[in-house]
Structure 1
Amino acid sequence: MGCSKKKIKYELSKEFQFEAAHRLIKNYSGKCINYHGHMWRVIITLHGHELDEKDMLIDFNELKPLKKWIDKYLDHTTIIWENDPMLTFFKKNNQKYFITKKSPTSEHIGEIILDKAIELFDNQRIKVKYIEVKESNTSSVKVYSNKY
């Protein structure tokens, strides 16, 4: 007397952390115009209607490639807009940086991580629903996949 598979939808989330600095200078005049850092928290949420042969949507360990990508490119780095005049300094002084095409807002950082997550995990059975980016305990942004 189980439920019909079509009526069941599973949703799974996993949280990762990284440390990075950024500043907002594109059409911005608030205090975040200065370089500052966050302990960023990223939550990936996937969803689907079918479980795999282990009766899981996805094994949490299978999400490690996203954490490895975050650690390699974003952890302990400066996330910098491609038009930031300070980019020359970072290049000249061998500083770790990650260049963004838009202002490195939480929204844009979420877009970047969402694109990578979709590349890594989207398939016919599961889809990335959204990425939540938390730059503090009180401020977060959710960036939804357009496939949701």
Structure 2
Amino acid sequence: MVKYFSSKKYGHERGLSAAFRQWKADSHCKYVHGYSLEFEFKFGANELDERNWVVDFGGLKELEKWLRNHFDHKTLVASDDPELSKFRNLDDDGIIQLVVVESTGAEMFAKMAMEYSAGLIQKHYGERCWVESVTVREHGANSATCSI
């Protein structure tokens, strides 16, 4: 059986500049740092639509909006970070735009994006297609992928 795949990339140049820290790390990753993150979504289908597409790239505006709401000039902090209250104060004072997440790091950001995009694709396309994987790149040397 033939399978089709397509991908959509929101590259570093899109300016999804997010700051975060891995508070459990023993390395310098325990400090707040940031990247212009890149997200790449791989979509799969067993059959193409009437336009011979897996998904309509122009119809992914909701996905880009979600990415901007979660990663564009945001500070992401894990819900179990012992310093969360300090980050909340910074947010209250208008110094940061806080997004509290389950956990931080490229792996967890890929998981978050996978879960959101899978629901979005299901809503718009039903069972015909799916999200095969999501890759998040901090920069050229570091990336993480979440897949089904």
* Structure with larger Rg: 1
| 1:1-148 equivalences in 2 (<5 Å) | 7-17=1-11, 18-26=16-24, 28-94=25-91, 95-102=96-103, 104-122=104-122, 123-145=126-148
User: Could you tell me the TM-score, scaled by structure 2's length?
Assistant: 0.86
User: Could you tell me the TM-score, scaled by structure 1's length?
Assistant: 0.86
Cα displacement string for residues 35-83 of structure 1 (whole angstroms, at most 9, x for unaligned residues): 1110100000010111111121111112221111010122110111112
Aligned-CA RMSD value: 1.3
Distance 1:139 1:56 in 2: 31
Cα displacement string for residues 3-30 of structure 1 (whole angstroms, at most 9, x for unaligned residues): xxxx32110101114110011112x201
State the percentage of identical aligned residues: 26
Runs of 4+ in structure 1 off by over 6 angstroms are none
Q: SS at 1:66's partner residue?
A: helix
Amino acid aligned to 1:78: T
Amino acid aligned to 1:124: E
CA contact (8 A) 1:41 1:133 kept: yes
- Following superposition, the deviation at residue 90 of structure 1 comes to 2.6
Q: SS at 1:118's partner residue?
A: helix
